[in-house]
Chain A
């Protein structure tokens, strides 16, 4: 590592964007907090509007910051070393995302392997079942909670399987898009990137359909006990990440159309595609642990 050439590092001059971003997050947090209170407790207030304002400011900040960044990148101010910093930064960011999902996977495993069996009397909890929850049956998926709420479990066949295939394919196309970029084949690049985006959108569409089906026909909701909780929180946060990933890919698509990126200069593209692969891996885990097992 320290053998390598140390170049003159590009240290950006002052920038207003981070501070604008801080204001945005402030508005989002205050807004979201109040919005949650207002919607669930039926109170009056401006939470929703503050949240919206925050999102607008955030959007404004992102455009400004990215534009700034792209301009610097296009005018060749980014050294190879800076590129490495960006790549490493992105990888650690993705790692932090992995740990965020780990919290929810942890909740799933805990509920499944520990809490539900204990409620049914396993381990040192014989009296729990006998005194507090007589008649409770510890099975997974938990279609009947200890307090008697019932629901149905989501199967893996059909829509979820289709979604798995879609997302896996999109990972492949994303990879080919990257290969095409490396080989500087712009036509293939556009095609593959476009396909990836389309597949992402298909996935999202199908997931919306799945949710509608769950709520309308299956009685499976966010409130249906710990099975529904983990199901919707995991797939929901994943869906949010797919949405974000698709947005990133769309931005990349427009930049490709404008002729940005080259085999040498492609950090943003690479970051978006890493993110996409990460989202994909999370899905595979979801598919196995939430749907199949």
Chain B
């Protein structure tokens, strides 16, 4: 379960800052990236080949047109010719483009076949999109976590200055090994998303209920950034993908570390059940969790978006029915955008955020919710 301790992870990832950044930040980048895999290089070459062919055809066609516009104009006193047919010419300009197309189709087919061959992978990762975050699960290790946008809302709103990786930074990036064939199993929990990293030339839709496969084999360690590429609702623009490629040895150490950390976090959670947290702690943790996990829909002020996302401020459920409140947050409301947070947040975080919702914005119930209350709902008492 994705309940790793946040701080430890961030510390680990921040060391990644020393790694080479991909060259994606040039404000006058005009062209496709070459990327860092053999496939992405092939794709780039294909793109350039076809581009040059189009330019060549354009030069011929527009050249002829320009010539006619300059030399065959009425103001020059030319008398118009009368021809209006020529089978030979017409056949020629049907067949020649056709042949050109074949020259494009052959390399395109080759690259495509290579891209779709996901067999014999060394590492398999299940990538699940949901509104508006990515979830990564290492199929061969006991490790999984969510990855959310890390840019501060104040930067988006223009209150703070925008950082270097504005909108392209996440709290917990995906980590993969270099020089290994990594297979991605891509799916979604709600609407269609699309997992895209330009440097790998991988873009695959995440369809709810189906699994798509893609793969990559990264040649250079580094940080690679992409974005969700399918309209997935309100915050489609705020759903970046960040991947860190590490040398295999480093990668293995990282995975072992993370898996251990997740195990430890789970054990700690059990201890929590016996403890009571006080209101102050719950509210301060709760506010943080709320702003990162819930505010996208229910809005930072708890007022929601009328007709789309319900307000929690003054909501009957948040003011009265506590078990129902816990149930909704833990299990979600199926058939709506309200997802199940039981597997996304730790017991402590759940307890805190529910307490927060019951006491913020004038929802003054004065009640605290403890980890054991949440656990009771989760396990069905």
Give A residues with C-beta under 8 Å from B: 118-119, 124-125, 127-128, 131-133, 146
Contacts and interface: CB of A to CB of B under 8 A. Distances in A.
Contacts of B210: 118-119, 125, 128, 132
Contact of B187 (A119, A124, A132, A146): A132
A132 B181 CA distance: 23
11 contacts: A124-B213, A125-B211, A127-B185, A127-B211, A127-B213, A128-B187, A128-B210, A131-B126, A131-B187, A132-B187, A146-B209
B213 A132 contact: no
Interface of B: 116, 126, 185, 187, 209-211, 213
A228 to B, nearest CB: 17
A125 B213 CA distance: 9
The A interface is mostly helix, strand or loop, or mixed, namely helix
Contacts of B126: 131
B119 to A, nearest CB: 11
A127 B211 CA distance: 6
A113 B83 CA distance: 54
Contacts of A133: 209
Nearest to B126: A131
A131 B126 CA distance: 9
Contacts of A132: 187, 209-211
Nearest to B186: A127
A132 B209 CA distance: 7
A147 to B, nearest CB: 9
Given A127-B213, A128-B210, 6 more contacts: A119-B209, A124-B116, A127-B211, A131-B211, A132-B210, A133-B209
Contacts of A128: 187, 209-211
Contacts of B185: 127, 131
Quick one: which of B126, B209, B211, B213 has the most chain A CB within 10 A? B211
Contacts of A118: 210
Nearest to A133: B209
A132 B116 CA distance: 21
Contacts of A125: 210-211
A131 B125 CA distance: 12
Contacts of A127: 185, 211, 213
Contacts of B213: 124, 127
Nearest to A127: B211
Contacts of A124: 116, 213
A118 B210 CA distance: 8
B40 to A, nearest CB: 22
Nearest to A129: B211
Quick one: which of A118, A119, A127, A132 has the most chain B CB within 10 A? A127
A123 to B, nearest CB: 11
Contacts of B209: 119, 128, 132-133, 146
Quick one: which of B116, B126, B187, B209 has the most chain A CB within 10 A? B209
A125 B210 CA distance: 7
A133 B210 CA distance: 9
Contacts of B211: 125, 127-128, 131-132
Nearest to B208: A132
Contacts of B187: 128, 131-132
B312 to A, nearest CB: 20
Nearest to A130: B211
A146 B213 CA distance: 21
A13 B214 CA distance: 64
Quick one: which of A124, A133, A146 has the most chain B CB within 10 A? A124
A32 B68 CA distance: 58
A104 B209 CA distance: 22
A132 B211 CA distance: 8
B52 to A, nearest CB: 33
B142 to A, nearest CB: 16
A227 B75 CA distance: 70
Nearest to B118: A124
A127 B126 CA distance: 10
Contacts of B116: 124
Nearest to B137: A131
A272 to B, nearest CB: 43
